[in-house]
Structure 1
Amino acid sequence: MLFIQEFIKDYPSYLELPVQWGDMDAMQHVNNVSYLRYMESGRIRFFSDFLQLAALPEGIGPILAEINCRYKFPVTYPDTVVVASRVKPESVDEFSIQLQQLVISTRHERIAAEGVARVVFYDYAQKKKAPIPEAIRARLLKS
């Protein structure tokens, strides 16, 4: 894990996830969709770590608008991946943020995938984007 710490030192939120046998596909490596699920879990952890979602106005919350994933190394079972997430500071605007994410194989001590997710704050009742409250924006910029 010491080697992994070097990768994630600039990523304030991370979690470990075991690779499941069912994550693999017919090509005997983790299927591309599984990486997106790993990143989803990383985003949930990030928001849990850095946002007080209960402090948001009722019905307002983050929603995934866009995701990009660059696959760098094939992960196989058995393994554990570390998913690390951080805000791209220059990406925070009135309505959205971008999260940079890494998926790291602990078995191979390598970055398996890199992702960028654009998350929009959304008013679920009115079905439209909502401004990020200033207190939340300040927390995001400090993360």
Structure 2
Amino acid sequence: MTPKELEHFPAVIRINVQWGEMDAYQHVNNTVYFRYFESARIAYLQKLNFSDPAQTGGIGPILGHTQCKFIRPLAFPDTVSVAARTIEIREDRFIMELKIYSHKLGKLAAVGTADMVAFDYQNFRKARLPQSIRESIEALEGRTFGTSSTDTER
């Protein structure tokens, strides 16, 4: 069952916390949260058919920026639900919201964001987000996003 906090996220995965993910302080190491986020991002990208640049003319996603706000420590044993959704689309990227929910605690453990930049892997440079991907995001999210200017420095 999807936790209430994650109901509006089109990509939600469940991950069992592993004993080896804990550090000397007996909680899941901070780097693992980013791996959990990565797994949710990949699940989202697969729903869009945007994980393989060969399928979109050499244009694919590359992580431009990510951040995490740690709310509660996780520990073994636990199962987490990790969710991803798009909250903004720009000319050359889309911004994702990410959440980690602890089933043992019954609460959010972390929230974050990720900038997924369209990248031309053949010419090794940033690219425009393909219109087909924008349309796929809007279909997956069940809403239309407004136009936004390019943020080339972000």
Q: TM-score, normalised by structure 2?
A: 0.85
Separation in structure 2 between the aligned mates of residue 65 and residue 112 of structure 1, nearest angstrom: 23
State the shift of 1:50 in Å.
2.6
Deviations 1:29-52 (A, max 9, x none): 000000000000000000112335
Q: In structure 2, the residue corresponding to 1:116 is in which secondary structure?
A: strand
Q: Per the alignment, in what secondary structure is the counterpart of residue 46 of structure 2?
A: helix
- Please list every run of 5 or more consecutive structure 1 residues that lacks an aligned counterpart in the other structure: none
1:141 matched to 2:138: yes
Deviation at 1:5, TM superposition (A): 2.7
Task: State the distance in 1 between where 2:72 and 2:22 align.
Answer: 14
Structure with more of its chain in helix, by fraction: 1
1:1-143 matches, cutoff 5 A? 1=1, 4-53=2-51, 55-57=55-57, 59-88=58-87, 91-142=88-139, 143=141
Deviations 1:25-73 (A, max 9, x none): 111000000000000000000011233545411x221010000100001
> 1:79-120 CA distances to partner (integer Å, 9 max, x unpaired)?
1111011000xx211110011010111111110000100010
- Answer whether contact 1:92 1:141 (CA < 8 A) is retained: no
Q: Is the 2:66–2:115 Cα contact (8 Å) retained in structure 1?
A: yes
Task: Report Cα offsets for 1:11-34 as digits up to 9, x if no partner.
Answer: 111100111111111110000000
- For 1:16 and 1:62, locate their aligned partners in 2 and report how far apart those are by CA, in whole Å: 23
Checking the alignment, whether the CA contact within 8 Å between 1:82 and 1:103 is kept in structure 2 is yes
Percent of aligned positions that are identical: 36
Q: Which runs of 5+ in 2 are unaligned?
A: 142-154
Q: Distance in 2 between matches of 1:20 and 1:85?
A: 21
How many aligned residue pairs are there? 138
What is the rounded CA distance, in whole Å, between the counterparts of 2:101 and 2:73 in structure 1? 11
The structure 1 segments of at least 4 consecutive aligned residues displaced by more than 4 Å after TM superposition are: none
Query: What is the root-mean-square deviation of aligned Cα atoms in Å?
Result: 1.3
Q: Does the Cα contact within 8 Å between 1:81 and 1:103 map onto a contact in 2? A: yes
Q: TM-score, normalised by structure 1?
A: 0.91
Check whether the contact 2:50–2:60 (CA below 8 A) recurs between aligned residues.
no
